[in-house]
Chains A and B, each alone.
Chain A
Amino acid sequence: MVETLSPAPRYRAGEHVALFLPCYCDVLFPHVGKAMVALFERLGVPLDYPVEQTCCGQPAFNAGRWDEAGELGAHFARVFDRFDWIVVPSGSCGAMARTFYPYMDPLSPAAQTGARVYDLATFLVDVLGLTDVGARFTARVTYHDGCHGRRELHASAAAISLLQAVRDLEYVELPQIEECCGFGGTFAVKYPELSVSMGEAKAQAIAQTGAQVVASGDSSCLMHIEGLIRSSAPATSLRFLHLAEILAAD
Chain B
Amino acid sequence: MRSGFDSGSVSRGFRKPAAAPVLTTTLQRSVESAHAAREQIEWEMLRSAAHDIKAYAIENLDRLLVEFETQFTARGGTVLWAPTASDGIAHLLDICRRHGATAVVKGKSMVSEELAVNEHLAAAGIDAVETDLGEYIVQLAGQRPSHIVGPALHLSRQDVGRIFAEKLGTAYTEDPEALMSEARTRLRTRYLQAQVGMTGVNFAVAETGTIAVIENEGNGGLSSSVPPVHVFLMGIEKIIPRLADLPVFLQILARSATGQKIEVYTHHFLGAEAGKTVYCIIVDANRTKLLADPKTRQSLYCIRCGACLNICPVYRRAGGFAYGGAYAGPIGAVITPRLVGLEQAGELPFVSTLCGACQDECPVKIDLPHQLVYMRHKSVEQGGTSGGIADRGIGIWARGMRDLASYRRAVVWLRRAAAVGRRIGWYPGVLGAWTKSRTLPRPPSESFKEWWERRR
Contacts and interface: CB of A to CB of B under 8 A. Distances in A.
Interface residues of B, number: 66
Interface string B350-363: 11111111011000
A63 B402 CA distance: 17
Given A223-B441, A227-B441, A178 B357 contact: yes
A193 B15 contact: yes
Interface stretch (B137-145, B261-269, B444-452): B444-452
Summarize B's interface: helix, strand, loop or mixed: helix
A55 B398 contact: yes
Contacts of B39: none
B398 A68 contact: yes
Interface residues of A, number: 68
A63 B407 contact: no
B391 A65 contact: yes
Contacts of A75: 401-403
Nearest to B14: A191
A30 B436 CA distance: 25
Contacts of B189: none
A68 B448 contact: no
Interface stretch (B102-110, B211-219, B313-321): B313-321
Interface string B370-387: 100100111111000001
B425 interface: no
B451 A30 contact: yes
Given A147-B353, A189-B433, A57 B376 contact: no
Contacts of B15: 191, 193
A136 to B, nearest CB: 24
Q: For B379, B391, B431, which residue has the most chain A Cβ atoms within 10 angstroms?
A: B391
A151 B356 contact: yes
A139 B395 CA distance: 42
A23 B314 CA distance: 27
Interface string B2-33: 00000000000011111000000000000000
A34 B402 CA distance: 24
A227 B439 contact: yes
B414 interface: yes
A25 B448 contact: yes
A150 B357 CA distance: 10
B404 to A, nearest CB: 5
Contacts of B452: 33, 49, 51
Contacts of A68: 394-395, 398-399
A29 interface: yes
Given A27-B447, A191-B15, A64 B387 contact: yes
Interface string B338-359: 0000000000001111111101
A119 to B, nearest CB: 15
Nearest to B19: A197
B172 interface: no
B437 interface: yes
A109 interface: no
Contacts of A151: 355-357, 359-360, 369
Given A30-B444, A55-B398, A180-B357, A189 B430 contact: yes
Contacts of B448: 21, 25-26, 30, 32-34, 49
A183 interface: yes
A93 to B, nearest CB: 13
Q: For B355, B369, B387, which residue has the most chain A Cβ atoms within 10 angstroms?
A: B355
Given A27-B414, A194-B314, A65 B444 contact: no
A1 interface: yes
Interface string A19-55: 0010101111110111000000000000001011011
Contacts of A224: 438
Contacts of B376: 62-64
B177 interface: no
A183 B313 CA distance: 12
B44 interface: yes
Contacts of A228: 437-438
Given A33-B452, A62-B373, A189-B433, A182 B353 contact: yes
A189 to B, nearest CB: 4
Contacts of A2: 44
A192 interface: yes
A179 interface: yes
Interface string A219-243: 0000110111011001000000000
Contact of A231 (B359, B430, B437): B437
Given A54-B401, A60-B398, A180-B353, A28 B449 contact: no
A150 B377 CA distance: 24
B397 interface: yes
Q: For A33, A147, A191, A227, which residue has the most chain B Cβ atoms within 10 angstroms?
A: A191
B44 A227 contact: no
Contacts of A21: 448
A248 to B, nearest CB: 14
A72 interface: yes
B453 interface: yes
Interface string B155-189: 00000000000000000000000000000000000
Contacts of B438: 188, 196, 199, 224, 227-228, 230-231
Given A60-B398, A179-B357, A180-B313, A193 B414 contact: no
Contact of A186 (B14, B314, B394): B394
Given A33-B452, A62-B373, A227-B441, A72 B430 contact: no
Given A151-B355, A151-B360, A192-B437, 12 more contacts: A54-B403, A60-B394, A64-B373, A64-B377, A100-B373, A184-B352, A188-B433, A190-B388, A193-B15, A194-B14, A194-B313, A194-B314
Interface of B: 14-18, 44, 313-314, 317-318, 350-357, 359-360, 365, 369-370, 373, 376-381, 387-388, 390-391, 394-395, 397-399, 401-404, 407, 411, 414-415, 430-431, 433-434, 436-441, 443-444, 446-449, 451-453
18 contacts: A1-B365, A30-B444, A30-B447, A34-B451, A51-B449, A54-B402, A54-B407, A57-B398, A57-B401, A60-B394, A64-B387, A68-B399, A151-B360, A189-B433, A189-B434, A190-B390, A194-B351, A228-B437
